[in-house]
Structure 1
Amino acid sequence: MSYNISIRLDTRRKKSNGMYPVKLRVYGKETKKEKWYNLNIDLNEKQFDEIWLNAKNKNLRGSNKELRLKLQAIENRANDEAGSMEVFDFSKFEFKLFRKSSDSNNVNYHFNLAIEKCKKNNKISTAESFKYTLNSLANFSLNIKKCSIEKLRFQEITVDWLKEYEQHMLDKGKSITTISIYTRTLRVIFNNAIEVNDLSAEHYPFGKNKYKISRTKKVKKALTAEQLKTLFEAKVSNSNEEAAKAFWFFSYACNGMNMKDIALLKYSNFKEDHFSYYRAKTFDKTAEKKEIVIYLTDFTKEVISKHGRKNNKGYVFNIVDQDDDVQTQYKKIKNFTRYINDHIKRIAKANNLPDEISTYWARHSFATNSIRKGASMEFISEALNHSDLSVTKGYFEGFEDEAKKEFANTIMDF
């Protein structure tokens, strides 16, 4: 064993009541470090000898017997948790020891662990995604399976359970895409529990010959060149619509720049005729950080001049503030995106354009229209900051049929 665990009386400092604290001593043989964990139990030396050290003492009665059983249970559990690790690690040991024994296979517990980890790493959007999934599962578990989410164990989520959940969601009018998102998120939680040895892989309900998460082909939403011209030249009814149109086309003109990245754009990112930034969505997902360079045009300069802060310091646009914490930033950016979407839809409706248009369309409109102008897949991939060319292929797939029709109609144009 690479560790040594024992119950000790810490006689280094006597308490005012004349007692010493009983502690769990853990020694890591490889690191040659030891830690003492307080058990919130105080005894004097005679009591400790009688209750714990005298293993042959079988005459213990009442509270003394209960205390010995309690200490034995603590030592046994500590050995079990340490023994479950291939390599002993203090942080993992503490994580497992200082929780209820039932937490190891509790779905709610592992969801909340993931949520707190996301918050700690400032991944507020991902934390929200875990929350939405947990709420959906809680509703199904309680109302259909008659089990509160606090008592739901991993072992109860079988292939049949997942199929019933999927049908329940469909009956509620939820899309396959939503169900896929929720089940993929649940799969992450299963993987997390298996990774920390809280769950055996035999209880994993996903994969070959098990529950298969539905895959839907993403439909790339993009405006045609004619629709883009109509939107760009559309008259607006008020300043809100003017701002929405300006930011939508700013995103389009900046290689489909995400609204979060626009909100976090700083004047310090600018240099002469361009600005550069790292895409927030993918920054933590890749070891190699790709800097995106955007060259300024008359249009983007005009948007910055009209809607940017005038002091040329800090954030370019008045969307978030320097002293905002991550949670506040997240809420402000979410509200800003909703504001743009609400008003761009009003403009679209007034001009007979697709009424489901959103900021999401600006990115795909940039990609699709770049393809129409003859841009290569490699150019689009770099402009969109895709991690792999396979991701970019999705844009070309949506364009392929249209290109074929156009080619068929012009093949006889000599």
Structure 2
Amino acid sequence: MVHVRTLLDTRRARFDGSFNIIYRITHYKKVYTLSSGISVHTNHWNSHSSEIDRIHPNAARLNLKLSKRFFEIQRAILELEDHFSIEELKALLEGKPKQVEEPITFKTFSDKLIKNMHQINKSGNALIYQTAVNRFLAFCGNPNILFNEINYTLLEQFSHSLAIQGLKVNSISNYFRTLRAIYNKAIKQKVVERTFYPFYDLKIKSERTLKRAVLRQDIAKLEQLDLSENKPAKRALDSFLLSFYLIGISFTDMAYLTNKNVIEGRIVYRRRKTHKEYSIKLFPQAKAILESFYQEDSKYLIPILPNNVVEDSLRAKKLIHQWIKTTNKYIKRMGIDVGIPAPLTTYVARHTFATTAKKLGYSNELIAEALGHEYGNKITNIYLDSFDSVVVDEMHLHVIAPLDKE
């Protein structure tokens, strides 16, 4: 609320001993003053009625002038409504047009979010947001669309358009979860009112991904390949097998491993995606591959990233992505060459470790412990002790053991 009072400012007297009459404006505990241009002596001011006393020779004319200005101020305040500022008030009283702030568009707000992510080296999230925003704006055909113009009908049409283009259910779901996250942030930052929220009745569908595992016998076929004459292919195969030998470690986490992560014969690291800490036994198969990757001038166990790279930056993200892309290209060809029916990708290593452990008779709980997953009721899990590392190591060894030695 904004309050206005007419007062005699007795803090400083003028040269003739009179004092200025002012309008004191209070807005959320902040006080501003506007001069009326009129001054009187204290004996001519009636503090109870906030006007010039009748004994003043020009009381009627001056009080009329004060009242007129008072109502002009009140009218200007009402016109400003909830966007009051003393600067805007002065501009209105001086006859200047009210300055209307340009509304923040969906693109402007999203660009700011993405820029902030890059600044704190969350380049992975930044790329996900940028892709979703670009695709949505391309569909809308309006780069200046406002948040309150994004409604249920528009989102349904966008979903239908993506489906027609052949995108899978989970890919569409990823786009919509990102758009929803942006909208929620805009609400929290008072960019748009919650009453415009378009996601209440929109169901974001998802489906279980197909299993990407292959048989342990298929991994054995890859282990037997001789690629000594093809260094790029061997590098790709070694990367894939290393992921399998380290309980399905992600390629991103592998890329950031350094000597500091090797502790008493184990690989100890914190997964970048979940921030969960892992401690994986370093068996001979994995150790041999790491030795083959060793480069004296690289601080990383696998020389994918340069030493001076800013970790989790956009540059690092692109280098790792290219490594994954190249690995997928080579191992897919290898899979076809050795007769593996399912297409090989970097994800297959993790899924195959879990599936192989299951076929060997290990419990879902133990497999979940090894892969760092929650299993069953999360509340119940709080009261369960983690499996002893020896038990996990035993399963780990059994899964990656060469088939001819089982």
What SS is found at the alignment partner of 1:149?
coil
Identity across the alignment (%): 25
Which AA in structure 2 matches 1:76?
H
Change (3 A) 1:295 1:155: same
* C-alpha contact 2:365 2:375 (8 A) present in aligned 1: no
**Which residue number in structure 2 is paired with residue 118 of structure 1?**
117
Q: What is residue 359 of structure 2 aligned with on the other side?
A: 372
SS in 2 for 1:217: coil
- Give the deviation of 1:379 after TM superposition: 2.1
Give the secondary-structure state (helix, strand or coil) at the position aligned to 1:275: strand
Whichever structure has more helix as a proportion of its residues is: 1
1:246 to 235, 238, 258: 238
Q: Are residues 1:107 and 2:103 paired?
A: no
Residues 268-294 of structure 1: per-residue CA shift (max 9 Å, x gap): 1112211200001112xxxxxx32001
Q: Of 171, 194, 198, which residue of structure 1 is paired with 2:191?
A: 198
Contact between 1:137 and 1:149, CA under 8 Å: does it hold in 2? no
What letter is aligned with 1:222?
A: A
Q: 1:74 to 1:357 in 2, by over 3 A?
A: farther
Cα distance in 1 for partners of 2:143, 2:211 equals 36
Report the CA distance between 1:73 and its aligned residue: 6.4
**Partner in structure 1 of residue 252 of structure 2:** 260
- Root mean square deviation of aligned Cα: 3.5
Amino acid at match of 1:239: K
Secondary structure at the residue paired with 2:113? helix
> How many Å separate the matches in 2 of 1:117 and 1:108?
14
Counterpart CA distance in 2 for 1:246 and 1:109 is 44
Structure 2 partner of 1:224: 215
Map 1:275-314 → 2, pairs under 5 A? 275-283=267-275, 290-310=276-296, 314=299
Offset at 1:107?
1.5
Residue 345 in structure 1 maps to residue 344 in structure 2: no
2:361 is aligned with 1:361: no
Q: 2:166 aligns with which of 167, 173, 178?
A: 173
Residues 1:155 and 1:302: Cα distance change in structure 2 (over 3 Å):
same
What is the TM-score of this pair, normalised by structure 1?
A: 0.66
Match of 1:132 in 2: 131
Offset of residue 138 of structure 1: 1.1
Equivalences for 1:323-334 in 2 at 5 Å? 323-325=308-310, 326-334=313-321
Amino acid in structure 1 at the alignment position of 2:184: N
Unaligned runs of 5+ in 2: 4-25, 38-64, 70-75, 87-99, 379-406
Structure 2 residue identity aligned to 1:339: T
For the structure 1 residues 101 and 382, does the alpha-carbon distance in structure 2 shift closer, same or farther, using more than 3 Å as the test? farther
Q: Aligned AA for 1:366?
A: F
User: 2:371 aligns to what?
Assistant: 384
Contact 1:248–1:340 (Cα < 8 Å) also in 2 = yes
> Could you tell me how far 1:28 is from its partner in structure 2?
9.2
- Structure 1 residues 100 and 293, CA, compared in 2 at 3 Å: closer, same or farther? farther
Residues 196-219 of structure 1: per-residue CA shift (max 9 Å, x gap)? 232222222224xx1111121122
Displacement of 1:349:
1.8
Cα deviation, 1:159-198, whole Å, max 9, x if unaligned, reads 2212111111122222222211111111111111122232
Secondary structure of 2:273's counterpart equals: helix
Distance 2:67 2:112 in 1: 42
What does 1:9-88 align with in structure 2 at a 5 Å threshold?
A: 76-77=83-84
Counterpart AA for 2:305: V
* 1:75–1:177 CA distance, 2 compared to 1 (3 A): closer
Structure-1 separation of matches of 2:325 and 2:280: 25
Change (3 A) 1:57 1:244: farther
- The Cα offsets for residues 346-368 of structure 1, whole Å up to 9 and x where unpaired, read as 21121222463111111111111
C-alpha spacing 1:77/1:229, structure 2 compared with 1 (3 Å): farther
C-alpha separation in 1, matches of 2:221 and 2:66? 91
Cα separation, 2, equivalents of 1:389 and 1:336: 35
Secondary structure of the equivalent of 1:173? Answer: coil
Does the aligned pair in 2 maintain the 1:344–1:357 contact within 8 Å? yes
Structure 1, unpaired ranges of 5+? 5-25, 35-47, 60-68, 80-98, 143-147, 284-289, 392-414
Number of corresponding residues: 307
More deviation, 295-304/195-204 = 195-204
